[in-house]
Structure 1
Amino acid sequence: MDVQSGLPRCSRHPDVETGIRCTRCEQPVCPSCMIPASVGFQCPDCVRGGSGTGHAPGANQPRTLVGGRLRTDGRAVTKVLMAVNLALFLAVHTAGDRLVDRLDLIGHAYYPVLGEVVGVAEGEWYRLFTSMFLHQDLVHFLFNMMGLWVIGGIVEPELGRGRFAALSLLSGLSGSALVYLLAPPNQPSLGASGMVYGLLGAWAVLARYRRSDMRPVVVFLGLNLLITFTRPDISWEAHVGGLVAGVLLTAAMVYAPRARRELVQYGACALVLLSVLGMVLVRTAVLL
């Protein structure tokens, strides 16, 4: 009696069921067809250059864990984010505090230096974004850049450039939105911490998915959360907002069904962006 397992059949041997797919074209491949690659296995057609039939356009592009294109430079977006942070850091130390007063995250306050009422509630929504890349203190800047470099180097190759950029920016925006929602309206906030904590959350989800040793992630995350809630003058709202967004977005990316992967991933990004919008609108209504 022939019992069907429900597994797909090899694209070259239709009578053979397999649970392995080519990492480039995602076609099912059986043990006699699979060819070891740097990441997973590839089918003979992709190894020969993708000249076989049944491949979608661009299917010969190597793919990351979540469907992004695999690149040789696994830190390209990380470097761009760090360059923006560095440029603003140098600009602050050239232009002075007046630039900080224009770009930091403030809900609603009167600034004597500027001589006007400023803040997100006044329509300056750009502060939610610019504050993500803004630093005044050298130690604060170096600490965040170290986290961005180390954790970005782990997460970006797994997600690919586009998804990593979306994760980083949405994590930072989520942190900013939670600060705006919960912190005193006249309390300024700045720094890339929300973004870095988003990458921390992504690292935890990826390690769990890969069934890697979770102890380094747990220890590193635990120490950072301990610092967050025990040291003064730290915006815990930015850290928590970024962490939650990073966990949710990465979970949606890695656990999305293959058949609807992009729909789930884009939908998760849209939902996080809508939650940011909702927090901003609610807080603005309260302040005004």
Structure 2
Amino acid sequence: MAYARCKQCQKPTCGDCQIPVEVGILCRSCHPDRTSTQKITRAIMQQGSPLITYLLIALTTIVYGAQLLIPGHFMFNTFAFNWNYVLETHQWWRFLTSGFLHSQGNISHLALNMFSLWLFGRELEFRLGRIKFIALYLCSIIGGSIAVSLASILSFAPSVTTIGASGGVFGLFGAFWVLTRLRGENSSPILVLIAINMAYSFFFPGISWEAHLGGMFTGAAVTWLMQKFSHQGR
């Protein structure tokens, strides 16, 4: 087997790892095609599957199945969020549990949220770690419910019953934006995605823009605080 030295790091490189370039030979580690995204993807593969992301998707899907199978709208009546009702009954768990329910008459509500969770959750779980990631997601759901409550209290919107993982998903959007900014990466793509989704929230009826905004700002704030205290602890 023929060995040659990498022109950049000067380490011996075997024939299988040699990448010919104009200036000679580069090893795979030094080749410019090895972008940060590719490194993250490889690291995720090496560390195993994003367990929390998959568990959240599985749990939400199971809850949706329970909504369809249990008669009398039991799941909706027990776990959906309505600020006035929560204020009267003190059933505070609804701030969180509503994020695991979805519209029974529109499966795309579940599908789109779970696709977004799968798309962004895998990388965020790798970047933040499992404990911080699940804390981020759950706090974002609660933040979305709080925003719905505040809108009702301030009369920006009537008190309505809300369900769906959108608050948590928008929290992931906010988290991703914060991380790209802190790392000096291009944040334009995520800003475009947020703008499109927010426009969809405002212009189409039956969508809780309050939950989306609340989840997004909560996710951004939680992520910024996590990064701030993480760096201070080093």
TM-score if structure 2 supplies the norm length? 0.73
Partner of 1:53: none
Task: Please give the alpha-carbon distance, in whole angstroms, between the structure 2 residues aligned to 1:151 and 1:171.
Answer: 14
Given that 1:106 and 1:185 are in contact with CA atoms closer than 8 Å, whether structure 2 keeps it comes out as no
- Alignment partner of 1:73 is 2:48: yes
Which segment drifts farther, 71-80 or 127-136? 71-80
Q: 2:69 pairs with 89, 94, 99, which one?
A: 94
Partner of 2:4: none
Gaps of 5+ in 2: 1-28, 41-45
What SS class does the counterpart of residue 121 from structure 1 fall into?
helix
Question: Taking structure 1 as reference, are residues 257 and 79 closer, same or farther at Cα in structure 2, changes over 3 Å only?
Answer: closer
Q: 1:189 pairs with 162, 167, 184, which one?
A: 162
- Alignment partner of 1:134 is 2:101: yes
What SS class does the counterpart of residue 53 from structure 2 fall into?
helix
Given that 2:149 and 2:159 are in contact with CA atoms closer than 8 Å, whether structure 1 keeps it comes out as no
What SS class does the counterpart of residue 119 from structure 1 fall into?
helix
Task: Please give the alpha-carbon distance, in whole angstroms, between the structure 2 residues aligned to 1:132 and 1:199.
Answer: 14
Amino acid at match of 2:98: S
Residue 102 of structure 1 deviates from its aligned partner by 1.6
Question: Taking structure 1 as reference, are residues 186 and 209 closer, same or farther at Cα in structure 2, changes over 3 Å only?
Answer: closer
Name segments (4+ residues, structure 1) moved above 4 Å. Answer: none
Cα deviations by residue, 1:254-275 (Å, 9 ceiling, x for unpaired): 23463436xxxxxxxxxxxxxx
Matches of residues 23-62 of structure 1 in structure 2 within 5 Å? none
Q: Report the aligned-residue RMSD.
A: 2.6
Task: Please give the alpha-carbon distance, in whole angstroms, between the structure 2 residues aligned to 1:189 and 1:232.
Answer: 13
More helix by share: 2
Given that 1:74 and 1:157 are in contact with CA atoms closer than 8 Å, whether structure 2 keeps it comes out as no
What SS class does the counterpart of residue 131 from structure 2 fall into?
helix
Partner of 1:233: 206
How many residues are treated as equivalent by the alignment? Answer: 189
Question: Taking structure 1 as reference, are residues 120 and 95 closer, same or farther at Cα in structure 2, changes over 3 Å only?
Answer: farther
Gaps of 5+ in 1: 1-35, 41-63, 65-70, 109-117, 262-288
The structure showing larger relative contact order (alpha-carbon pairs under 8 Å, at least 6 residues apart) is 2
Partner of 1:264: none
- Alignment partner of 1:84 is 2:59: yes
Partner of 1:179: 148
Task: Please give the alpha-carbon distance, in whole angstroms, between the structure 2 residues aligned to 1:94 and 1:102.
Answer: 15
Residue 74 of structure 1 deviates from its aligned partner by 5.0
- Alignment partner of 1:148 is 2:117: yes
Given that 1:107 and 1:185 are in contact with CA atoms closer than 8 Å, whether structure 2 keeps it comes out as no
What SS class does the counterpart of residue 232 from structure 1 fall into?
coil
Partner of 2:195: 222
Residue 185 of structure 1 deviates from its aligned partner by 6.4
Partner of 1:15: none
What SS class does the counterpart of residue 55 from structure 2 fall into?
helix
Task: Please give the alpha-carbon distance, in whole angstroms, between the structure 2 residues aligned to 1:150 and 1:98.
Answer: 31
Residue 120 of structure 1 deviates from its aligned partner by 4.1
Residue 213 of structure 1 deviates from its aligned partner by 2.2
Matches of residues 102-117 of structure 1 in structure 2 within 5 Å? 102-108=78-84
Partner of 1:114: none
Cα deviations by residue, 1:76-134 (Å, 9 ceiling, x for unpaired): 111111111111100000014232122110123xxxxxxxxx43431111111110110
- Alignment partner of 1:159 is 2:119: no
Question: Taking structure 1 as reference, are residues 241 and 154 closer, same or farther at Cα in structure 2, changes over 3 Å only?
Answer: same
Task: Please give the alpha-carbon distance, in whole angstroms, between the structure 2 residues aligned to 1:257 and 1:81.
Answer: 25
Given that 1:197 and 1:242 are in contact with CA atoms closer than 8 Å, whether structure 2 keeps it comes out as yes
Given that 1:178 and 1:241 are in contact with CA atoms closer than 8 Å, whether structure 2 keeps it comes out as yes
What SS class does the counterpart of residue 61 from structure 2 fall into?
helix
Residue 139 of structure 1 deviates from its aligned partner by 0.8
What SS class does the counterpart of residue 162 from structure 2 fall into?
coil
